[in-house]
Chain A
Amino acid sequence: MEGSSYQIDLGNLMAYDSNHHFQSVPSSRVELVKHCLEKGTEMVQAIADSLFSLPSTESRDGPVVKLPAPTTKLPREKHLPKPKPPTKWETFAKMKGIKKRKKNKRVWDEQTSSWKRTHGYDRANDDRDIPILDAKSTDEVGVDPFAKRNAEKKERVKKQEKNRLDNLKKAAKAGALPSHIQLAATALPITGTKKDVPKKASKDELESVAGMAATSTASGGKFDKKLPGEKPPKHSGKHRKFLPVVEGKGIGSKEKQQTEKILNQLLSKSSHEILDVNKAVTMFNVKKEKQRKRDKDANPGKSGKLKPNKKSFKKTSTKKKN
């Protein structure tokens, strides 16, 4: 839709001015911002004008307008799909020149004389529906031909699955994996980081989760049928051990140990309070005094303090003579 001078794309609610250029380079960032805001306001006004020109329907919240399809082409979000490498069968068919043939949806079934589908449930000419198998000369005695047929079929199915996976791997190597398989493959995220991918649970995690789920049953998981090889759940809750009420004649050795331990801890913690320092000091001094007194009584002559001064008053010849 052409506006006054703008190209308006209502589908994207976008207005584009192809003739815009700055008259003069604005001097500062503030001016630039102001200029841009003015221009933007004009263009939003143009979008609003064209919106109101559209036919509107009445709804509960007011007039509702259905936007037309967007006209601007946006670039591609994801890359173009890469050409995938041919599968094993395709290469073989190309080599041999085998062309694809159109198959009918319904085929005539001889056994039941009816039209049955070609593939799938209740199909025509199914191998398993044959009740009697003629014994061939190559068959051994004692081998069940029906079982043999089933086993062969299983083998074929397994082989086919292997081939399919191999083809996918080849395609993945070339980067051309079909998108639904790409989505399913958890190790290869298309968008987002590897952290968004849920990690495979480890053995311990699975065991613990299985244990938790088991304990949430009514009987705590005790009578659940266990798979072969599943270990009984480890009791992972808080384990509170209690001493036995009565061991032997009354107190058991463990309880005695425990009480002793706690008693010793308590006493040692408060040993500074038990010892009254002042009292201890006085007691020590008194003891020492007593000891001294006893010593004095035992050896009266040896006390140094009470010895009389043995000074001689005689005038001796040691006096210096001039």
Chain B
Amino acid sequence: MRPLDEKETTLVFEKLFKFVGPNLKHIIERPAVEGPDPGGYCFRLHKNRVYYASESLVRRATSIARPKLVSLGLPIGKITKSGQFRLTIHSLDLLAAHARNKIWLKPAAEMTFLYGNSVTKSMLARITENTKAGDGVVVLSMSDLSLGFGVAARSTQDCRKAETNAVVVHHQADNGEYLRNEEEL
């Protein structure tokens, strides 16, 4: 376990910025509540996975040997062999709490998204204004339950003009992955 170095921190922050925007500040400077003398939250790298945990948790985790440490706090993503940072489904809670752009799915369409398909216009119920193409969006059901996240393929304006089968949001992660990719997570 080690802190991220500059390059890695930029990767992680940029990725998070796509989803949460200026709320990134809130994520980084969030005051912790647990543990004796809670500080803030920090990012740590362990076996190519990036974890988001409170400082006191990290301090306690240093007493576990490296090969024995499995996970720590919230595993928001992993750094791939080619040096890219990918967000995993575990980060959904964090993203949903601070996301800027959200999209609501029709009840009939929830299941297809949970199976891993991208969101087409026919599945779309609501979408926040000022979403631009390439922005990160969090996918919610009509009952405001977060289902997953993805990347917007079109801006809000273009969504209105698009045909019913056009892809609106590219799928990146969804709650169904907990069942499908149990070994990889």
Contacts and interface: CB of A to CB of B under 8 A. Distances in A.
Interface of A: 240-246, 249-251, 255, 258-259, 262-263, 265-267, 270, 273-274, 276
B24 A266 contact: yes
Nearest to A249: B39
Contact of A259 (B9, B44, B62): B9
A262 B9 contact: yes
Nearest to B16: A266
A250 B40 contact: yes
A262 B55 contact: no
23 contacts: A240-B5, A243-B3, A244-B3, A245-B2, A245-B58, A245-B62, A250-B39, A250-B58, A255-B42, A258-B6, A258-B9, A259-B43, A262-B6, A262-B10, A263-B13, A265-B10, A266-B13, A266-B14, A266-B17, A267-B22, A270-B21, A274-B22, A276-B130
Going nearest first, the 6 A-B pairs with the smallest beta carbon separation are: A250-B55, A250-B39, A243-B3, A246-B59, A251-B42, A262-B9
Interface of B: 1-3, 5-6, 9-10, 13-14, 17, 21-22, 24-25, 28, 37, 39-40, 42-44, 54-56, 58-59, 62, 130
Contact of A250 (B1, B5, B17, B42): B42
Given A262-B9, A266-B13, A266-B24, A251 B40 contact: yes
A276 B156 CA distance: 15
Contacts of B3: 242-245, 255
A251 B5 contact: no
Contacts of B2: 242-243, 245
B9 A250 contact: no
Contacts of B24: 263, 266-267
A131 B92 CA distance: 97
Nearest to B18: A270
B22 A250 contact: no
A246 B55 CA distance: 8
A246 B17 contact: no
Contacts of A246: 55, 58-59, 62
Contacts of A263: 13, 24-25, 28
Given A243-B5, A245-B2, A258-B9, 17 more contacts: A240-B5, A242-B5, A243-B3, A245-B58, A245-B62, A246-B58, A249-B39, A250-B40, A250-B56, A259-B9, A259-B43, A262-B6, A262-B13, A263-B28, A265-B10, A266-B14, A270-B21
B39 A251 contact: yes
Given A255-B42, A266-B17, A266-B24, A249 B5 contact: no
A259 B28 contact: yes
Contacts of B6: 258, 262
B136 to A, nearest CB: 13
A259 to B, nearest CB: 6
Nearest to B17: A266
Contacts of B37: 249
A274 B42 CA distance: 24
A47 B96 CA distance: 95
A270 B14 CA distance: 11
Contacts of B40: 250-251
B49 to A, nearest CB: 15
Nearest to A270: B17
A296 B149 CA distance: 51
Given A263-B24, A274-B21, A274-B22, A249 B59 contact: yes
A249 B55 contact: yes
A289 B59 CA distance: 55
B43 to A, nearest CB: 8
Contacts of A273: 21
A264 to B, nearest CB: 10
Contacts of A267: 22, 24-25
A258 B13 CA distance: 12
Contacts of B39: 249-251
Contacts of A266: 10, 13-14, 17, 24
Nearest to B35: A250
A251 B55 contact: yes
A34 B17 CA distance: 80
Contacts of A265: 10
B58 to A, nearest CB: 6
A202 B58 CA distance: 50
A266 B130 CA distance: 20
Contacts of B10: 262, 265-266
Contacts of A259: 9, 28, 43
Nearest to B25: A263
